[in-house]
């Protein structure tokens, strides 16, 4: 990885250098091309100038020849006619020729050969002009014959021929130079454009390559920067993981395949007591009790085949030889697929172990404690039975005495007691009767709690009618109307208990009516799936909803004993009895609107027997 990174870095540095080099080469090439094309264009200019000069020389030379010829023609005309008009070209030539000659001299200044020819031409022209002047003068002074004599010497003709020869030489040379100059010019022009185009193409090519390389280099640098960011993030993550490992409560230990400790976090320091610098480099066996050394062999064996060891509960030693209960998880550390070591996470489970042991002990003693508790409960039950016996037997004896003797007193000594005395005796009797009722109800209630109530199919109709029979005296006395909505359902219940419950329900229904009004009671049943609900509705004084929760409690009396006599146990018996048979009770009522009490018991599907 490291190697690869340095390689790419070097490659990247090389490419930058190459880019610069290429740019330099491109620059040099452009300069060279510029220089070459400059030189070519200078050559072209020079060639052009040469060509131009050659043209001028040729034209001047022809001009000189034409002037001389014109002058001679004019002289001949004058000689023949004597008319001075013919002398105009001669006079013109005399004036113009020196200028032309001078121009020729200037134009041919850099060519000695031409210069010499121009000098020769100059002399020949002077001589020719002198010969012409001589003939003209001779004609004018000595007549035409004198002049012809001069002409007939042929000197003028010879001069003219020589002039023609010299001018022809000059023109030939210049024509030759002109042809050469034109060739050079074409070549130089072509060369110059070749150089320019080539240099341009080269420059474009090199620049393109350099640009491409530069872009690649920039991209590379971007990639490098991204890689750096990634590297930084990775390092940050590594640091964070390291912090987590370091601060873990669990011991996190690294070891190689020989069981030599390679890392040791703070959790390990805390659990095993060795500091990191003490533990690293030591064999892992420093924390393994001698009798458990084979465990480590097994763990290492599994590790070599790449297997984990999960939540293995064992015991290790601290530096001070104290055993610690731990849960071990050993996972292999791989490098390119090869297992090179292991990371061990050890959790201190001493506390948990202790809790488990406590729990186990508790469980072991549970049966014992249950038996003990059952015995205690049985004892309490026996005591309760004894109490019940005492209540039913002993508490009622004094009541009988109170009742009996108070009555005996009233009967035997009534006259002596007087009205007040008789009233007192009556009160004693009434109190005794009330106390007796109370005791009977309490006994019934406590019996409900303890007796085993085996449910059997019972007809609610039978129970209700039997209960009404039992209450016949009361019903008659109060002028009550009872309305049974047949058929009533069948329930699973303990018949005597249900009888007791329903009797209490009905007795309450006729009891709590407003003075001067006759009780009207309606009884019906309602099937509610798996249960059957028996409703008893009265036209009584009703119960405020805030007392609904209280009406089924023992001794919960909502009314004064004077107005509505009762022990306050009847409805408690209704609830306890129903609940003991697996049922529920409830009431719906508002003051002044009567009350609807209900008991709900498991429905019986059996049609016969009760």
Distance set, CA 531 to CA 496, 506, 587 (Å): 20, 21, 17
Asked whether 296 and 253 are in contact (CB, 8 A), the reply is no
**How far is it, in rounded angstroms, from Cα 561 to Cα 435?**
13
Judged by DSSP in three states, 484 sits in strand
CB atoms under 10 Å from CB of 255, counted, come to: 25
**CA of residue 310 relative to chain centroid, distance:** 31
Minimum distance, C-beta of residue 392 to another protein, in the bound complex (Å): 5
Binding segment toward another protein, per CB under 8 A, in 45-53, 355-363, 392-400, 466-474: 392-400
Asked whether 305 and 258 are in contact (CB, 8 A), the reply is no
From candidates 18, 76, 270, 396, binder to another protein by CB under 8 A: 396
Minimum distance, C-beta of residue 408 to another protein, in the bound complex (Å): 6
**How far is it, in rounded angstroms, from Cα 327 to Cα 348?**
7
Which lies closer to another protein via its Cβ, residue 378 or residue 549?
378
Q: Verify binding: residue 378, another protein, rule CB under 8 A.
A: no
Minimum distance, C-beta of residue 403 to another protein, in the bound complex (Å): 5
Q: Verify binding: residue 397, another protein, rule CB under 8 A.
A: yes
Minimum distance, C-beta of residue 450 to another protein, in the bound complex (Å): 11
Q: Verify binding: residue 424, another protein, rule CB under 8 A.
A: no
From candidates 98, 281, 404, 591, binder to another protein by CB under 8 A: 404
Minimum distance, C-beta of residue 565 to another protein, in the bound complex (Å): 15
Q: Verify binding: residue 409, another protein, rule CB under 8 A.
A: no
Q: DSSP of 7-50, one letter per residue?
A: HHHHHHHHHHHHHHHHHHHHHHHHHHHHHHHHHHHHHHHHHHHH
Binding segment toward another protein, per CB under 8 A, in 133-141, 210-218, 338-346, 401-409: 401-409
Q: DSSP of 82-150, one letter per residue?
A: --GGGGHHHHHHHHHHHHHHHHHHHHTTT-HHHHHHHHHHHHHHHHHHHHHHHHHHHHHHH-HHHHHHH
Q: Verify binding: residue 543, another protein, rule CB under 8 A.
A: no
**How far is it, in rounded angstroms, from Cα 14 to Cα 17?**
5
Q: Verify binding: residue 428, another protein, rule CB under 8 A.
A: no
User: What is the strand order of the sheet 261-264 is part of?
Assistant: 261-264, 251-256, 338-348, 323-335, 309-317
Q: Verify binding: residue 422, another protein, rule CB under 8 A.
A: no
* CA nearest to 589, candidates 549, 557, 555: 549
Residues 191-230 vs another protein: string with x where CB under 8 A? ----------------------------------------
Minimum distance, C-beta of residue 396 to another protein, in the bound complex (Å): 5
The torsion angles phi and psi of 537, rounded to 5 degrees, stand at -105, 135
From candidates 401, 485, 561, 606, binder to another protein by CB under 8 A: 401
Which lies closer to another protein via its Cβ, residue 35 or residue 401?
401
Distance set, CA 144 to CA 132, 139, 156 (Å): 13, 5, 16
Judged by DSSP in three states, 345 sits in strand
* CA nearest to 566, candidates 450, 481, 440: 440
Q: Verify binding: residue 325, another protein, rule CB under 8 A.
A: no
The torsion angles phi and psi of 3, rounded to 5 degrees, stand at -60, -45
Which lies closer to another protein via its Cβ, residue 314 or residue 446?
446
Which lies closer to another protein via its Cβ, residue 433 or residue 466?
433
Q: Verify binding: residue 403, another protein, rule CB under 8 A.
A: yes
**How far is it, in rounded angstroms, from Cα 364 to Cα 416?**
76
Query: Binding-site residue total for another protein (CB under 8 A)?
Result: 23
- Size (the chain), residues: 610
Binding segment toward another protein, per CB under 8 A, in 14-22, 117-125, 344-352, 433-441: 433-441
Binding segment toward another protein, per CB under 8 A, in 51-59, 387-395, 455-463, 536-544: 387-395
Q: Verify binding: residue 433, another protein, rule CB under 8 A.
A: yes
Binding segment toward another protein, per CB under 8 A, in 202-210, 353-361, 385-393, 590-598: 385-393
From candidates 399, 428, 431, 438, binder to another protein by CB under 8 A: 399
From candidates 54, 97, 251, 432, binder to another protein by CB under 8 A: 432
* CA nearest to 328, candidates 279, 281, 268, 274: 268
Residue 452 β-bridge partners? none
Positions in the binding site for another protein (CB under 8 A): 385, 388-389, 392-394, 396-401, 403-405, 407-408, 429, 432-433, 436, 440, 443
């Amino acid at each position: 990885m490291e190697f690869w990174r340095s390689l790419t870095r070097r490659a990247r540095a090389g490419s930058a250098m190459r880019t610069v080099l290429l740019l330099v080469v491109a620059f040099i090439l452009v300069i060279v091309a510029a220089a070459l094309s400059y030189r070519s264009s200078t050559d072209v200019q020079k060639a052009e100038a040469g060509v131009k000069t050659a043209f001028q020389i040729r034209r001047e030379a022809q001009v000189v020849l034409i002037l001389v010829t014109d002058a001679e023609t004019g002289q001949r005309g004058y000689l023949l006619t004597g008319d001075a008009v013919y002398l105009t070209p001669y006079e013109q030539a005399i004036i113009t020729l020196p200028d032309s000659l001078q121009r020729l001299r200037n134009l041919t200044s850099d060519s000695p050969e031409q210069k010499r020819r121009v000098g020769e031409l100059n002399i020949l022209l002077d001589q020719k002009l002198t010969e012409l002047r001589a003939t003209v003068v001779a004609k004018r002074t000595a007549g035409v014959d004198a002049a012809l004599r001069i002409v007939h010497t042929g000197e003028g003709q010879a001069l003219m021929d020589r002039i023609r020869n010299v001018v022809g030489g000059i023109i030939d040379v210049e024509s030759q130079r002109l042809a050469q100059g034109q060739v050079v010019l074409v070549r130089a022009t072509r060369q110059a454009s070749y150089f320019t185009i080539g240099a341009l193409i080269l420059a474009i090519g090199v620049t393109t390559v350099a640009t491409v390389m530069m872009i690649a280099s920039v991209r590379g640098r971007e990639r490098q920067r991204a890689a750096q960011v990634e590297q930084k993030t990775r390092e940050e993550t590594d640091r964070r993981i390291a912090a987590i490992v370091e601060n873990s409560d669990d011991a996190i230990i690294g070891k190689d395949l020989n069981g030599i400790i390679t890392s040791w976090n703070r959790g390990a320091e805390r659990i095993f007591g060795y500091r990191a610098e003490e533990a690293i480099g030591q064999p892992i066996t420093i924390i393994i009790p001698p009798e458990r050394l084979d465990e480590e062999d097994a763990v290492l064996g599994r590790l070599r085949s790449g297997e984990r060891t999960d939540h293995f509960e064992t015991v290790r030693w601290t530096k001070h030889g104290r055993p610690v209960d731990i849960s071990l998880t050993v996972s292999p550390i791989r490098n390119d697929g090869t297992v090179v070591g292991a990371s061990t996470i050890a959790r201190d489970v001493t506390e948990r172990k202790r809790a488990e042991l406590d729990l186990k002990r508790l469980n072991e003693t549970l049966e014992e404690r249950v038996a003990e508790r059952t015995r205690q409960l049985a004892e309490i039950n026996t005591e309760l039975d004894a109490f019940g016996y005492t209540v039913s037997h002993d508490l009622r004896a004094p009541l009988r005495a109170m009742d009996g003797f108070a009555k005996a007193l009233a009967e035997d000594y009534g006259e002596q007691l007087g009205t007040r005395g008789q009233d007192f005796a009556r009160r004693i009797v009434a109190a005794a009767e009330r106390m007796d009722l109370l005791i009977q109800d309490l006994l019934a209630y406590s019996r409900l709690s303890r007796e085993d109530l085996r449910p059997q199919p019972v007809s609610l109709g039978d129970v209700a009618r039997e209960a009404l029979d039992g209450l016949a005296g009361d019903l008659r006395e109060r002028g009550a109307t009872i309305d049974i909505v047949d058929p009533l359902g069948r329930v699973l219940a303990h018949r005597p208990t249900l009888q007791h419950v329903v009797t209490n329900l009905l007795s309450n229904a006729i009891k709590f009516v407003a003075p001067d009004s006759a009780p009207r009671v309606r009884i019906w049943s309602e099937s509610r799936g798996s249960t059957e609900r028996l409703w008893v509705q009265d036209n009584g004084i009703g119960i405020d909803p805030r007392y609904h929760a209280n009406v089924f409690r023992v001794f919960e009396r909502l009314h004064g004993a004077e107005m509505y006599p009762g022990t306050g146990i009847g409805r408690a018996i209704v609830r306890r009895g129903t609940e003991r048979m697996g049922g529920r009770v409830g009431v719906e009522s508002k003051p002044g609107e009567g009350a609807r009490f209900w008991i709900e018991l498991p429905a019986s599907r059996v049609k016969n027997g009760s």
